[in-house]
Structure 1
């Protein structure tokens, strides 16, 4: 039953969106005064705006009713909803071998060409006194 109400609720929401997008703004009526031909529509000169307004109001009322129905149905469930966090497996960090060990870094041989290009931190003749 709850699934059927939820599907209806979703369809009503989509219909409301479509109806709101179809409706003309208030500025569109000014174009009809200069020969826009609005009287030749299926609903008449003012019929389309009142039809869309009424349909929007009816769908909004149905949306409100299905929202309340879904809230009532979810409060009447026998079992409480379960949390995904509570059902997650517990990972033992101590079980991972070598997790606490820091890998050894390779030492830099001073005879390498790359070591000669790098400035030395121990003997800095160009150091600026911070005072």
Structure 2
């Protein structure tokens, strides 16, 4: 089900991009290069602007709906996997690592990830 939502989401995003690029800007006559004047009969008496505007609106609504559904999926997956009582690593995997002959690498014991700045003598005013 999630795969279907992702596919519809990507198709809606591509449709929005294409429809926005096809639309004629305010006061711009760039649409004439695509046959804007001749396409009046194809899209009806209202012209291509109204058709493209409505198509973009439908694609945007589908895009927002699939975004919401994907956010709900992501929230469900993230909420169920981690809480304060559960370990971050599977205990069985830890047990197998401890019993293996592979030497374990340990990180140097530091209290912070920030490197320490060497102490400098305070500058005296002269």
Residue 22 of structure 2 aligns with which residue? 22
Provide Cα deviations, 1:39-78, integer angstroms capped at 9, x if missing partner.
7541145321000000101111111100000011111224
- Where has structure 1 moved over 2 Å in runs of 4 or more? 36-41, 44-47, 77-80, 90-94
Asked whether the equivalents of residues 39 and 45 of structure 1 are also in contact (C-alpha less than 8 Å), the reply is no
Shift, 1:92, TM fit: 5.2
- Structure 1 length normalisation: TM-score? 0.51
Residues of 2 paired with 1:15 and 1:68: CA distance?
18
Residue 66 of structure 1 aligns with which residue? 66
Name the SS of the counterpart of 1:28 in structure 2: coil
Q: 1:79 aligns with which of 57, 63, 81?
A: 81
Residues 23 and 79 of structure 1: CA distance in aligned 2, closer, same or farther (over 3 Å): same
Residue 117 of structure 1 aligns with which residue? none
Residues of 2 paired with 1:13 and 1:70: CA distance?
14
Of Structure 1 and Structure 2, the greater helix share is in 2
Tell me which structure has the larger Cα radius of gyration. 1
5+ residue gaps, structure 2: 83-87, 89-103, 109-126
Asked whether the equivalents of residues 39 and 47 of structure 2 are also in contact (C-alpha less than 8 Å), the reply is no
